[in-house]
Amino acid sequence: MPIVFVYGTLRKGERNHHFLDGAACIFEQCRTNGSLYDTNNRYPTMKESKSSWVYGELYEVTEAQLRSIDRLEGFEEGHHDNLYNRTTAPVYNDSGGEISANIYTAGQLLHKSTKRIPSGDWLVYNYLKQNDILYFAYGSCMDDERFKLAGVDQYFVNLKGKGTLNGFEFRFSRSSHDGGKADLVENSQEKVEGKVYQIPHGALEYLYKREGVYANAYRPAIVSVTINKLIYPAITFIGTEKSAETKPTELYATEIIRGGQSLLSNEYLQKIQQKIDRFN
């Protein structure tokens, strides 16, 4: 069956996602080489590039679905004036797995698009346009001590509650010079608990610096978190490269447990503590 990488209006929560009804989602967080652009027509386009990434989702579809997507994207085999061209290229998940997939890239008309989206993520780009931003913290940012030390605690006073992220696993798989850092890894059998804050735009610069976004350590991503049985989109940060789990520093581990104690379930905190204890 055909495999398709989607990065714009076909993604979850977007207006054309119904074209993928019944399709099997292979990766919810994945990427391919390219540059992403806003066409100013409420949809993005992708141009080929080896120096940057475009983020999206990967699906196994039927032949009939592929033909429907071809029509949506203005692609016809053998034509040279398509709105989008369909090519095949490797797609990578966050753990380095690679699958060849169909990808729709800019045709001649869309190559005129010049408004580049630096994050390479259409969901992040659109989400940050809104006034109310939810932030899902699952690591040391659940603890407010460093917020206070940095003088930014006023950004994190609006705690919406405990959030649960299904389909992901908590791991210390982001390696750094001072030990393993918390990370999210796709795993359909697992879930991650964390705190959900409503934050102003002013908090993003602090979070981007703290999470090492500018140093390409973590990247922003939009995930679906459950709060009191309702599902909300929220921004979080995912490690760009995965490693074998490594031991966190004592301070970092303390921040995670201390930050989660007031809200997360005892069962989940015990699971994290057991993970930490295994390094000793």
Supply the pLDDT for residue 80.
Answer: 85
Catalytic residues: 211
Q: Please determine, looking at this structure, whether the domain spanning 3-123 carries the CATH number 3.90.1010.10.
A: no
Rounded to a whole number, what is the distance in angstroms from the first to the last CA of the chain? 46
Q: Average pLDDT of each block of 10 consecutive residues along the chain (280 residues)?
A: 97 97 96 97 96 97 98 92 96 90 95 95 97 96 95 97 97 92 95 98 97 95 97 97 93 96 96 92
Return the exposure string of 182-219: e unless at least 16 CB atoms fall within 10 Å of the residue's CB, then b: bbbbbeeebebbbbbbbbeeebbebbbebbbbeeebbb
Supply the pLDDT for residue 229.
Answer: 94
Supply the pLDDT for residue 97.
Answer: 86
The per-residue pLDDT for range 122-151, each reduced to its tens digit, is 999 999 999 989 999 999 999 999 999 999
Supply the pLDDT for residue 126.
Answer: 97
Amino acid, res. 7: Y
Residue 61 CB partners (closer than 8 Å, separation 6+): 1, 2, 3, 4, 20, 23, 69
CB-count burial class (<10 Å; 0-12, 13-18, 19+) for 228? exposed
The position carrying tokens 């080489």 is: 33
Supply the pLDDT for residue 94.
Answer: 83
State which CATH number among 1.20.58.1030, 3.10.490.10, 3.30.910.20, 3.40.50.720 fits the domain covering 128-277: 3.10.490.10
Amino acid, res. 62: T
Tell me the domain boundaries of the chain. 3-123, 128-277
**Strand-pair category, 84-93 with 98-106:** antiparallel
Supply the pLDDT for residue 216.
Answer: 93
Fold equal for 3-123 and 128-277: yes
- What does pLDDT average to over the chain? 96
